[in-house]
Amino acid sequence: MSTVNTSIRMSEALFGRVKEEAAFNGVSLNAFIVDLLTEKIQDEEDYHDAMSVLKENNQSISREEILKKYVS
What does the pLDDT read at residue 5? Answer: 94
Q: List the pLDDT tens digit at each of the 72 positions of the chain.
A: 899 999 999 999 999 999 999 999 999 999 999 999 999 999 999 989 888 887 777 777 788 888 888 886
Taking the whole predicted model, whether its pTM rises above 0.75 is answered as: no
As a whole number of angstroms, the distance between CA 55 and CA 51 comes to 6
- CA dist 34 → 3, 39, 47, 68 (Å): 11, 9, 20, 27
Residue spans of the domains in the chain: they are: 12-70
Residue 23: its H or E element = helix 12-24
Q: What backbone torsions phi and psi does residue 67 show, to the nearest 5 degrees? A: -65, -40
